[in-house]
Chain A
């Protein structure tokens, strides 16, 4: 079959389809009027859509900022905690300090007295 005959055959099928479709098409006025009714309802829908977009954007921007802020606060808090632990001193610490405690921490030297009075005095002054 030649290309032209093939083309004519296919064109014939489509012609029949077109003839059938012409009866089933809605009128132009109907389509346009429905479209206008839909358009009248649309401003509210568009507003909701815009609000949803804005809310989503805000959420996307605010969430990382909030997360970053929380992380910063947590880091600061843990640094303060670490510092306070290293500086902590027991309120009953003085009870375990005995007179002459420093003498026990030092190596005695030949020629020094058995009891270093000066050290004792300093200890007592504290």
Chain B
């Protein structure tokens, strides 16, 4: 059984990667990604999310982040319905809350990649992020996304093809 201190050290060592994955799960909304990450850290440190050692810690952590982001997305639908009038399809891929430093640091290529990724289906985007950004194997990406390896491979191939088309079209 791992102590909270050890978990904390694990979380800290994967923090940057976790934040990037949370960003991807939250369509690059920085505020939402931070919310998700806070909820995940609490879940891990409070023992509500239990690491059973069946997969690598990072793979497990990423699946917790993905599930937390999905549940927050569902709740945010209710919150949005309650406070802001519906604005179908106009949600931006990147939040206004993103700091100017982060925006300035991003190269034109990175911006184009974000725009192209925004046009891909969620599964394809997830698998591409996990494989290329996080450098996981397709099998690990499948585990994180909760799909079979075969289906992850299909998403990977189709996503890669569509991403290249989008990038070349710009």
A interface residues (Cβ-Cβ under 8 A, vs B)? 6-7, 9-11, 13-14, 16-18, 20-26, 28, 31-32, 34-36, 38-39
Binding site for A on B (CB under 8 A): 8, 11-12, 15-16, 19-20, 23, 30, 34, 37-39, 41-42, 46, 98-99, 101-102, 105-107, 109-110, 113-114, 128-129, 132-133, 160, 163-164, 167
- A24 near B34: Cβ-Cβ < 8 Å: no
Q: Is the interface of B mostly helix, strand, loop or mixed?
A: helix
Other-chain residue from A23, A32, A36, A38 in contact with B101 (beta carbon distance below 8 A): A23
Q: Are B132 and A11 in contact (CB under 8 A)?
A: yes
Chain B residues with CB under 8 Å of A20's CB are: 102, 105-107, 110
Contact in complex: A24, B12 (CB < 8 Å): no
Interface centre among A16, A18, A20, A26 (most CB of B within 10 A): A20
Nearest CB of chain A from residue B104's CB, rounded to whole Å: 9
Beyond the given pairs A21-B20, A23-B105, A26-B19, 6 more chain A to chain B contacts, judged by CB atoms under 8 angstroms and listed by A's residue number, are A9-B164, A13-B109, A14-B128, A14-B132, A20-B110, A32-B8
Whether B164 pairs with A6 at a CB distance below 8 angstroms is yes
User: Secondary structure of the A side of the interface?
Assistant: helix
Query: What A residues does B113 contact at CB under 8 A?
Result: 13-14, 16-17
- A17 touches which of B34, B133, B160 (Cβ 8 Å): B133
Q: How far is the CB of B44 from chain A (nearest CB, A)?
A: 10
Q: Check if A10 sits within 8 Å of B132, measured CB to CB.
A: yes
Q: What CA separation (Å) do A82 and B62 show in the bound complex?
A: 71
Q: How far is the CA of A32 from the CA of B109 in the complex (A)?
A: 32
